[in-house]
Chains A and B, each alone.
Chain A
Amino acid sequence: MNQRIALARKAAYEALKLRKSQNLQLWQAICVYDLAEELGLRVHFNAAPSMEGMYMNLSSPTIILSALRPVGRIAYTCAHEIGHHILGHGVRVDEELEDIDIDRLDSEEYTAECFAGFLLMPKIAVSHGFAKRGWDISACTPEQLYVIAGWLGVGYTSLIWHMSSSLKMIASRRAQKLVKVSLRKIRMSLLNKEVKDNLIVVDKEWFGRPIDIQVGDTALFEHDIGFEGNCIEPMRYSPQKRAYKAVLPGIGRCFSKRGKWAEFVRVSRKEYTGLYQYRHLEEPIDE
């Protein structure tokens, strides 16, 4: 067990050191794919159902990710593969995993898994996310956790388990209760309508990374926004006209009509396969 603690500490140290070296503040949410690109890694999304991801230390280091997973999980896997890169591991192939039993992972896998958690969800970022919104972690609701997870770009359950087992911010019993709340129920409660695809909640505290969604996803803005671009459209049924649907791949910019807030929205095809750098490329209009 002591060895596991040492590995987790090493992972946390390396993750935070990487953030510092890339000028990413500890309170900031990050786009893990942009980070991979900054590190000179080639990121490829592939439709390989039996694989989570892989890292290869080629002369052009390469990460291959399965596109057929929830977005938060793909981002976590990317952070895990960056961990293999930073920690100097060689070729690593991560099979499809339904439930990760972290205690059964070998030391390299365990370290990379911890690295991913600390890279995407440093304690300061998690605390900052709740504090800026005026939310009390000790009494946080599933909806609040869902919003924070979306902002950090991770899955709802990943955030809860990380807050419970690594950051010790939520008691284990409470975490077990929270993970049982279905995403369908949370989305229904936030939007007042059932949505088939992903829902992301964007408020004025959203800062540090673009709003990345896929065609079909819904972005719920908690304030009136203006929008430049054609990749998202307001949804008709939305009572406050704040829910937008991603309709086309591309990049747009949303901004608060009343304040100084602005952020880019990047839309990709659903379950995009290909190189990361083309993920949000618009389809040209035929002349």
Chain B
Amino acid sequence: MSKDDKTERAAIGTRLRLAREMAGLSQAQVAKMLSLHRPSVSEIEAGRRKVSAEELSKLAGIYDVKLNWITGLDTGENSKEDEKIKLAARQLAKLKPKDYDRVIHLLSMLRSNRRERK
């Protein structure tokens, strides 16, 4: 595996950990949802285990975040949604800087179209 591949895998792992924490889940809970052993989730987040496209898609669904955000392909300049986030950013400017960053970050991660409720 090339150095670039390693770096990319580590970056994906980092974003997956962040998304999991933002969703309020533990590694054990995610492992159970995916029928994996807990260390597998830990390995994925550490960038030491390859994560399949199917697993990535499932994880994005569980965390309710954009798949493109996890893979790092989200440019953040593609839709009306981003315009709304910019509008929110103006209103959020009244918050403390740390809270502003936290909320903007969350909004930029969230999936636009959620699956229909079953």
Contact = CB atoms under 8 A, between A and B. Distances in A.
Interface residues of B, number: 34
Interface in B65-118: 81, 84-85, 87-88, 91-92, 94-96, 99, 102-103, 106-107, 110-114, 117
A89 to B, nearest CB: 12
A51 interface: yes
Interface string B15-45: 0000001111110110110000110000000
A49 interface: yes
Contacts, number: 93
B110 A62 contact: yes
Contacts of B38: 286
A205 to B, nearest CB: 31
Nearest to A57: B84
B24 A275 contact: yes
A287 interface: yes
A272 B24 contact: yes
Contacts of A56: 84-85, 88, 107
B110 A91 contact: no
A44 interface: yes
B23 A50 contact: no
A274 interface: yes
Contact of A274 (B23, B91, B102): B23
Interface of B: 21-26, 28-29, 31-32, 37-38, 64, 81, 84-85, 87-88, 91-92, 94-96, 99, 102-103, 106-107, 110-114, 117
8 contacts: A47-B102, A48-B99, A51-B92, A54-B92, A64-B103, A64-B106, A91-B87, A275-B24
The 10 closest A-B pairs by CB, nearest first: A274-B24, A48-B99, A93-B91, A50-B96, A60-B114, A284-B32, A50-B95, A91-B88, A278-B24, A284-B28
